[in-house]
Amino acid sequence: MILQLLQINLIAPPRYVMTTTTLERTEGLSVLNQAMSVIKERIEEKRGVFNVQMEPKVVTDTDETELARQLERLEKENAEVDGDDDADEMEAKTED
DSSP lists the bridge partners of residue 8 as 18
Please report which confidence band the pLDDT of residue 39 belongs to, taking 50, 70 and 90 as the band edges. very high
In a domain, 19, yes or no: yes
Total number of domains constituting the chain = 1
In a domain, 54, yes or no: yes
The residue type of 92 is: A
Q: What angle do CA 52, 54, 58 make, to 5 degrees?
A: 130
0.85 exceeded by the pTM?
no
List of residues 6+ apart from 61 with CB closer than 8 A: none
In terms of DSSP H, where are the helices of 1-96? Answer: 25-45, 61-78, 84-95
Q: What is the pLDDT of residues 4-35, one digit of tens each?
A: 788 998 888 888 989 888 888 898 899 999 99
In a domain, 38, yes or no: yes
In a domain, 1, yes or no: no
Cis peptide before 56 (omega within 30 of 0): no
